[in-house]
Chain A
Amino acid sequence: MSAEAQAPAQALELREVRGPSATGGGRRRFFELLWLISATEFKKSFHGTAFGYVWSLVRPLMLFAVLLVVFTRIFRFNVVNYPVLLLFNLVVFGLFQEGTGAAVSSVLAQEGIVRKTQFPRLVIPLASVMVALFTLGLNLLAVFAFILIYGVDPTWTWLLLPLIVLLVLVLTCAVSLLLSALNVRFRDVAIIWTVVATVLLYGSPIIYPITILEASFLKDVLLANPLTLIFEQARVWIIDPSAPSAVQVAGGWLNMLPAAAIYVAACILGVWVFKREAPKIAERL
């Protein structure tokens, strides 16, 4: 203040005001807001419920129990370590399902902030994904305890788990950006997405390994789903080293291209659409 007061008549350096954007307001502010908002949302999800964290684990566990009964007693899958594979897959898929599910209506839910403050819009859907990521972190502790108790031997490839999570995380973020921006224009995106997310649960090798399918058009479609290859590779690294790797499942590097292309396209599309929509979000709400 005192330095400024000495030269009151001097012209100040004026900076261009560029209007709203996805990340506006400085990098430090962006990350601090992202952290604060996702941390408080995460804490909030445990407040007010009697069992707090337990519930976030109970939901996948219930689904797990039902599916386990269905596929070991009724359909009788013959898959190595099937129960732990199923549990692991459900929990990791939870990151995608819960992240995108919360993100899709997040911008609408934060209407007040978006319309009345200059706020980096990108923080809003990303915070939803972060909450799902925190939940995943906690759940994975439980899952790995379960995996060890079940008798799966730890291998050095367990160290590659972060890579798996990262691949799912990036895709989750990209889809979240796309959905949250589109949902501002078309409010039914959120409703459609609940259906699509369920389709994806069965359209990815979550409750079954893709190896039980014979070569068919359906299998080709499933192989174009980027999540398929990610989960198949996770199976090799974490649960069953004898399972075929993602490359083997796809039948060669070349056959992985469609899935890789879709993965990259989803990322580019998500970022591009969100950046394009961000300046107009406040007006459309």
Chain B
Amino acid sequence: MSARPVVIEARGIEKSFRLPVSKISSLKEQITTFSRPEYRELRALRDVSFDVHRGEFFGIVGRNGSGKSTLLKVLASIYAADGGRVRMAGRLAPFIELGVGFNPELTARENVELNGVMMGLERRQARGRLGAVLEFAELEEFVDMKLKNYSSGMLVRLAFSVMIQSDAEILLIDEVLAVGDAAFQQKCADVFHEMRDSERTVILVTHDMGAVEHYCHRAMLLHDGEVRAIGDPGEVARKYLRLNFESAPSSGEDSLGEVADVVVDDAWLEDEGGRRVTNVEKGRELRFCADLEVKRDVEGPAFGFALANADGVEVTGFGVPLAEVPERVVAGQRLRVRATVENRLSPGRYVVRCWIHRNHNIANLVLYSPHVLDFVVYGKEEPGVAFFEREVRLELRGGGDR
């Protein structure tokens, strides 16, 4: 891969934001604030340097507030960097989020043209792509419907198709993998696989370590605006997770951007003998354990877990039965969750996600960790995401006498 030419060269990018302690947005406030307004300097990016080669699928990971999106905006010329320089070869898709250029009052036909022009196509070219875009999005029947009447899933499909059908050689993608219904997700996954092997360069910003390991050739870990690691996606994903759990208590934002009241100290799978394992044979039951530490009192806690495959599809999930959970957990308490799960998973890599809520209400998230554990199920390949015991027979029902 390193033999490929460099298409993005970033050297020493610096970016800070001056955050006013109280935001001034009217003239009166500006005039009546006699002392100079106080600012807090937030250094969002510090000396960030990296290269991306042509055809590479490059992941950027990091916790919320680590500078990922700022970096993407600098690359996309949405923010001006304070220092350093970026050089690029090839046409960049100017979007960092799907569907932002859409005008809800216009029809799909008009929006595809408008978006195409934003992407740098000529109007005629953009109109020429309409058929292909709609076909991929499976929205041919809705070509003259205004976008405000589209469902959110249809919108995302249309936006994704426009992006795919543009001529852009470099794509910046900020968390779009979980879009649309399962069938469309599969289609997107296929496109990502195709892109992985094409000349197109993709920069993917995500929290989903499964996706990073699955699609990316290389990845970079940002933390507090600094590059902490760059290289093998598996290695970067592990560093990200270590970073996530290490700093969870005090400096600890979890992925919600708040201080976690409960943290996952450790999570593992074990075999019948109680030994920790990272690989499980197909069909052998999963014995899942997690150690939780309560940092602050939580009323009416609820614990949920989900198993997601490498494409980010949640195959199954389980919660701790309410009967098992105390009315409140208090700071300092340690809890161990043990679950035995029948294993119907197709061979492949899986991640375990964890949710903790308070007041038995899923709207009150205490913790969401997209990746508390990953493991591999090995064995004979199976079609689909899960397999089921089966007995299939073929009976001859007569005829064909010799």
Contacts and interface: CB of A to CB of B under 8 A. Distances in A.
A263 B26 CA distance: 27
B75 A29 contact: no
B73 interface: yes
Interface in A93-132: 112-119
A40 interface: yes
A279 B73 CA distance: 12
B254 interface: no
B100 A40 contact: no
A8 interface: yes
Interface residues of B, number: 47
A187 B77 CA distance: 25
Interface in A1-39: 1, 4-5, 8-21, 24-26, 28-29, 32-33, 36-37
Interface in B318-376: none
Contacts of B151: none
A17 B75 contact: yes
A36 B114 contact: yes
A12 B54 contact: yes
Nearest to A33: B117
Interface residues of A, number: 47
Instruction: Kindly name the residue among B25, B27, B92, B118 whose own CB sees the greatest number of chain A CB atoms within 10 A.
Output: B118
B396 interface: no
Nearest to B10: A17
B100 A113 contact: yes
Contacts of A189: 27
Contacts of B90: 12
Interface in A141-198: 185-189, 192
A24 B77 CA distance: 9
Interface in B63-110: 73-81, 85-90, 92, 94-97, 100-101, 103, 105-106, 110
Nearest to A182: B27
A19 B199 contact: no
Contact of A116 (B27, B96, B106): B96
A105 to B, nearest CB: 13
Interface pairs A-B: 6 shortest CB-CB = A19-B80, A118-B94, A14-B87, A12-B89, A17-B86, A116-B100
Interface of B: 3-7, 9, 17, 25-28, 30, 54, 73-81, 85-90, 92, 94-97, 100-101, 103, 105-106, 110, 113-114, 117-118, 120, 122-123, 199
6 contacts: A8-B3, A28-B122, A36-B123, A118-B76, A280-B80, A283-B79
Interface of A: 1, 4-5, 8-21, 24-26, 28-29, 32-33, 36-37, 40, 44, 47, 112-119, 185-189, 192, 279-280, 282-283
